Amino acid sequence: MNYPVWDVPILGSGLVIALIAIFHVFISHFAVGGGFYLPMTESLALRKGRNDWLAELKKHSKFFLVLTGVFGAVTGVGIWFAIGNANPEATSTLIHFWVFAWGIEWVVFLVELSALAAYFYLWGRVSNPLHIRLGWLYAIAAWLSLFLINGILTFMLTPGQAWLNAAGTGNETFSFWAAFFNPTFWPSLIVRTLICLTQAGVFALVTASRIDGQRQPELKTEMTEWARRWLLPSFLLLPIALFWYLAEVPAAQRALLDLGNSTVGQGLFTLLSRLKLVFLISSAAVVAAVYLFTSKRNAVGFGLGSALGVAAMAYVSIGSMEMLREMLRKPYVVGQHMFSNGVRKSEVARMNRDGYLTNAAWVRPEERARWTSPDHGQNSAVPDLSRGELMFRGQCMACHTLDGYRGMRKLLLGRDHKGIANLIAVLHTYSDDSPYRPFMPPLVGTTAEVEALTDFLAAQVSGTNSVPNKP
Amino acid sequence: MLQTVYRWIDERLEISPIIDHALKKRVPDHKHSAWYYWGGICLFFFMVQVVTGILLMIYYRPGPDAYDSVRQITYEIRFGWLIRSVHAWSANLMIGAVFVHMFSVFFMKAYRNPREFGWWSGLALLALCMVFGFSGYLLPMDELAFFATRVGLAIPDALPGMSQLISALLRGGPEVSSATLQRFFALHVVVLPAIFVPLLGFHLWLVQKHGNALPPSEEAKPAAERRSIPFFPNFAMRDMAVWLMALNLLALLVALFPLQLDVAADALKPAPVGIHPEWYFMSQFEALKLLGHVIPGTLGEFVGLGVFGVGMGMWAAIPLFDSRVTTSLRARLTTWFGLLFLAALILLTIIGYIEVL
């Protein structure tokens, strides 16, 4: 607990990250897919001598510039802000180890934004070949950005044995490339590239649906057909690529996917099985719906409502897959190295022996003095609540709130002090057969700290907000 | 090969006229066409209901084991939770879709001559859907289901002469018990489907017979300006795509909000705080409550049920009141009546939820 805890009531800090990340993932992938769509469509239109396509494309590029340049950048900064607050220990690790990769990524991002601005503002002002080259510069820069971030994100799930061996020795940077091209790098890169192409297809489909089919039936049919070509192959290949990705995920984490096949119990982690089903259903549904809506017979009458319906299904598919990928990392934030609450795997034994709060920078001296007194503050006039609360804030609040998302009062409802103590003991012992082990980190700390957390939670559940008398 | 099979079947069943009808049928294409999909959406959710209902019956055990069997379905049997959640969510979505379908038919004036029987059979189907919902709600026999059913049955119970009838027919005694459960189960899986399926067939036959109605704004246009598309394959393909969207919505709701099971029902325990009926009964429940403040006691409930009866009668009689195609005072009054009814339905439901939450 070397950093202050970000207390976000009701939502919880994890959900704040998720909410920002959902927008950012959609926009950033759209930026890459659209990056390829713009110069390719422009080239095709010029080859066919279709000025009506070019007029449509110019309109698209303005919308594209605003969405990716403004919302993409703002949500990107938002993610940094949120993860830095929610999990500073993990963010610090990512920044320190990947500093060189981040540096390259920021350069690439600058090229991406500049090229897009130039592409939009230079419509009709430079030669066609140069304009198309600007479009390609944008597309390649955007994809390289994805390439780099993909390496870092996949590292968080599967850092690879070479890096894990070096972790904590000070020689981590010697395993930079092994960590970057980790086991899930390539399947993930393909999955993400396919998602980008589907995003481009969705974008093309929505814009094609707005063309008046009665006045320009030929243009509408052609643009719809062109959009289909982006969408259908990508959605057909996506489940295959995802299965490859999952095959590279460690077996223990992959097992989370089957946790909810037989039950809807066990908190939110059965959600992974349900997300898997949603992903498969929605991917297949998008393919079929696009085929049915945009067949030659229906292309002229393909309306905005139908296009938005397809877009919604596509976002459900991509969103469920992203959520699944993110939850699959549990109980770690960096696979086999750092747990989701910022505790390093290598520190568990030491923290159990010396205490979790022993070196916490945010504990007041008088509090620490009381805890280290012979009676652990049990005879103090002030209830020993703050230690339990600090344990809760430090080790639980990365994923739980008291009353909102994954709210502890609701999850522990019906358990008395003894029941909560038993649960906490299971989390603290962290045995191999613990039902919580697949998705929850161990609870670390001395016996006194663990008891303090039990007292705090029992008081929250009973609604007294005060610690029960000790026997 | 296919041609040979088709000829073989056609010689025996004479299906050619049906196929010809489907191929020649056209569907109006205009800016309100989206409302034409809602009937199909209702049908889709009904088919989901049938399939999942049959699957649930494999493991569900009505009677004293009912709660335990639902617990097994939800927490032990592989994908049992999925079937149960899909069944429950599609039931809610179906009733929601039927409401949307009813109001779209109403505001497009699709109940007018010659479609009166379509309107009446549709209303009967909605009423049956709601009884399906009410009877299915008790089947898990958990605390919420038990007390909600007790409250629901107590409303008509207060009317003179009704108590004994309800006790004898539905409850199987003075109190909701496993005897009630058996009756509700029989109602849910035998009696209601036996009425619903033929009525649905009649409703669909009427739709085929009369075709899709044009809204007044389209009817006002000269025939040459009206557009239409073939039912098969154009509209049918779009219909399928909309069904896929409905399936997606269903999958999302089931994944994010799967049905859990409350504690087992205990008649000796007090009713939990905030017990309330399902959303589609909430407006009626709230209206009765509000009326109870004005006219307390049995008389209030009697008056309330009387008002419902008259209101439903007026709603059903709309095709007889507004039967002319031309714009008239009656047509305008009918539209205002529909808007008032819709607003009351939404408002009372919202007030109901604000009070119980």
Residue A468 is predicted with a pLDDT of 46
The residue with tokens 């999909």 is B37
The residue with tokens 């192959």 is A233
Cα atoms in the Cβ-side hemisphere of radius 13 Å centred on A416: 2
B237 interfaces chain A, CB cutoff of 8 Å: yes
The answer to whether B75 contacts A265, with C-beta atoms less than 8 Å apart, is yes
- Angle at Cα A208 formed by Cα A211 and Cα A29, nearest 5°? 145
Q: Per the structure block, which two tokens stand in for B334?
A: 């009918």
Q: Which of B261, B265, B257 is nearest to B72 (CA)?
A: B261
Contacts of residue A292 in chain B, CB cutoff 8 Å?
Answer: 237-238, 240-241, 244
* pLDDT, tens only, B56-97: 999 999 989 999 999 999 999 999 999 999 999 999 999 999
Rounded distance between C-alpha atoms, residue B87 and residue B253, angstroms: 12
Q: Per the structure block, which two tokens stand in for A138?
A: 């944008």
Counting one residue from chain A and one from chain B, the pairs whose CB atoms sit within 8 A come to 83
Confidence of residue B253 (pLDDT cuts 50, 70, 90): very high
Contacts of residue A274 in chain B, CB cutoff 8 Å?
Answer: 254-256, 258
Q: Per the structure block, which two tokens stand in for A141?
A: 């820069």
Report the pLDDT averaged over residues B234-259.
95
Question: Which three-class secondary structure state does DSSP give residue B230?
Answer: strand
Residue A469 is predicted with a pLDDT of 43
Q: Which residues contact B329 (CB under 8 A, 6 or more apart)?
A: none
Report the mean per-residue pLDDT for chain B: 92
Does the pLDDT value for residue B315 go beyond 70?
yes
Note whether A330 and A269 are within 8 A (CB): yes
Q: Does B105 or A466 have the greater pLDDT score?
A: B105
* pLDDT, tens only, A153-203: 999 999 999 999 999 898 988 999 999 999 999 999 999 999 999 989 998
Q: Which of A300, A327, A314 is nearest to A440 (CA)?
A: A327
Question: Which three-class secondary structure state does DSSP give residue A344?
Answer: strand
Rounded to the nearest angstrom, the minimum Cα separation between A168 and chain B is 39
Note whether A417 and A458 are within 8 A (CB): yes
Note whether B241 and A303 are within 8 A (CB): no
B34 interfaces chain A, CB cutoff of 8 Å: yes
Whole-angstrom Cα Rg for chain A: 26
Question: Which three-class secondary structure state does DSSP give residue A297?
Answer: coil
Contacts of residue B78 in chain A, CB cutoff 8 Å?
Answer: 261-262
* pLDDT, tens only, A304-329: 999 999 999 999 998 898 888 888 99
Contacts of residue A309 in chain B, CB cutoff 8 Å?
Answer: 241-242, 245
B248, B258, B260: residue with CB nearest A274: B258
Rounded distance between C-alpha atoms, residue B21 and residue B52, angstroms: 32
Whole-angstrom Cα Rg for chain B: 23
User: In this structure, which amino acid lies at residue B305?
Assistant: L
Does the pLDDT value for residue A464 go beyond 70?
no
Which string of DSSP letters, residue by residue, matches A4-71? -----TTT-HHHHHHHHHHHHHHHHHHHHHHHHHHHHHHHHHHHHT-HHHHHHHHHHHHHHHHIIIII
Does the structure's ipTM exceed the value 0.90?
A: no
CATH number of B2-275: 1.20.810.10
* pLDDT, tens only, A353-392: 988 988 777 777 777 777 666 665 555 555 555 788 889 9
Q: Which of A106, A8, A438 is nearest to A258 (CA)?
A: A438
B238, B244, B252: residue with CB nearest A298: B238
- Where do the structural domains in chain A lie, given as residue ranges? 13-339, 346-462
The answer to whether A262 contacts B240, with C-beta atoms less than 8 Å apart, is no
The answer to whether B255 contacts A305, with C-beta atoms less than 8 Å apart, is no
* A338-339 vs B26-28, strand pairing mode: unpaired
B131 interfaces chain A, CB cutoff of 8 Å: no
Q: CB count, 10 Å around CB of B356?
A: 14
The answer to whether A264 contacts B81, with C-beta atoms less than 8 Å apart, is yes
A252 interfaces chain B, CB cutoff of 8 Å: no
Mutate to test the interface with A, among B48, B71, B81, B256 (most CBs of A within 10 A): B81
The CATH number of A346-462, from 1.10.3470, 3.30.67, 1.10.760, 1.10.530, is 1.10.760
> Quick one: closest CA in B to A285, which residue?
B244
Rounded distance between C-alpha atoms, residue B38 and residue A275, angstroms: 27
Q: Per the structure block, which two tokens stand in for B224?
A: 């040459």
A168 interfaces chain B, CB cutoff of 8 Å: no
Q: CB count, 10 Å around CB of B208?
A: 12
Q: Which residues contact A19 (CB under 8 A, 6 or more apart)?
A: A11
Contacts of residue A295 in chain B, CB cutoff 8 Å?
Answer: 237
Report the pLDDT averaged over residues A98-107.
95
B263 interfaces chain A, CB cutoff of 8 Å: no
* pLDDT, tens only, A22-41: 889 989 999 999 999 999 99
Rounded distance between C-alpha atoms, residue A227 and residue A452, angstroms: 60
Burial of B224 (0-12, 13-18, 19+ CB in 10 A): exposed
Does the pLDDT value for residue A465 go beyond 60?
no
- Where do the structural domains in chain B lie, given as residue ranges? 2-275, 282-357
B127 interfaces chain A, CB cutoff of 8 Å: no
Does the pLDDT value for residue A3 go beyond 90?
no
A215 interfaces chain B, CB cutoff of 8 Å: no
Cα atoms in the Cβ-side hemisphere of radius 13 Å centred on A148: 17
Contacts of residue A282 in chain B, CB cutoff 8 Å?
Answer: 248, 251-252
